[in-house]
Amino acid sequence: MPWNVKTLSFLLALSQGLFIQCLAHVNSSTAPCRGCHRNSLDKITAKTRHMEKEAKELFRSYLTHQGLLTSELRRLCDEAIQWFPTENITDQPKMVMLQELYRTLVHMKDALENIKKQQQVLSTPGAALLGRLESTQWAVRGLLSNTFCALCLKGVLPNSRRTPERPAVTNTFQQKIDGCKVLRNYSKFLEKLARGSGKKAPQALRDQRKRRKGTKRKEGSLHS
């Protein structure tokens, strides 16, 4: 039995609606990754090694500017902070490692903002420490962006799982110690990260060479 005009119009409208819904779903799932590059993981490895050196320099600069160079005061800086991973996250599966890295960097970004605000009051304008803090802020934001892209391209939208905010500290000495703890833990975190990435880099290069050899063999068999 032939379909009438109303039936055909209904089916056409239905198919168009389904197509639009499908297109909207695809666009919504890919939109967050716009501007992301496929080599985000390589950027993370390279950036981490550079940031490790800067973190050590920032910590030393902070100790000097805040008068925390004595061994007794420096020991106070070694206290662990709950949002820094206790283990080396590079030992985890790649996706777990990236999510932990993202979560830690979100907290670090907020902590750096607090330290900078404190130092704008405690330090003299133009102090070298303020410049180092600002440089570190930009580096953390860049690494955070690379980590987001690496996760996004794998189809994962990260969740930072923020910790409850602590009451604002008004005691100047305690502010100095809190900042010292953050920067010390940050330096140790990057040291582990760079060391773990360095161990995995040679294996990644070997895997890449194997893939290239396999591709060449396939191309050779096709032409023979």
- Does residue 220 fall inside a structural domain? no
- Does residue 173 fall inside a structural domain? yes
- Which pLDDT score, from 0 to 100, does residue 38 have? 86
Is the pLDDT assigned to residue 173 strictly greater than 60? yes
Residue of 161, 162, 48, 184 lying closest to 115 (CA atoms)? 184
pLDDT band, residue 25 (cuts 50/70/90): very low
Q: Are 83 and 102 in contact (CB under 8 A)?
A: no
- Which pLDDT score, from 0 to 100, does residue 174 have? 92
Q: What sections of 123-171 are H helices per DSSP?
A: 128-152
Pick the most confident of 15-19, 158-162, 164-168: 158-162
Tell me the whole-structure pTM to 2 decimals: 0.73
Q: What is the pLDDT of residues 38-81, one digit of tens each?
A: 888 889 999 999 999 999 999 999 999 999 999 999 999 999 99
Is the pLDDT assigned to residue 19 strictly greater than 50? no
Q: How many CB atoms lie within 10 A of CB 90?
A: 20
Is the pLDDT assigned to residue 177 strictly greater than 60? yes
* Number of separate domains in the chain: 1
The whole domain housing 132 covers 34-215
- Does residue 179 fall inside a structural domain? yes
- Which pLDDT score, from 0 to 100, does residue 123 have? 85
- Does residue 144 fall inside a structural domain? yes
- Cα–Cα dist 49/76, whole Å: 26
- Does residue 224 fall inside a structural domain? no
Phi, psi of 159 (to 5 degrees): -125, 125
CATH number, position 177: 1.20.1250.10
- Which pLDDT score, from 0 to 100, does residue 105 have? 96
- Does residue 170 fall inside a structural domain? yes
- Cα–Cα dist 147/102, whole Å: 6
- Does residue 14 fall inside a structural domain? no
76 by Cβ neighbours in 10 Å (0-12 / 13-18 / 19+) ranks as middle
Mean pLDDT (the chain) is 81
- Does residue 21 fall inside a structural domain? no
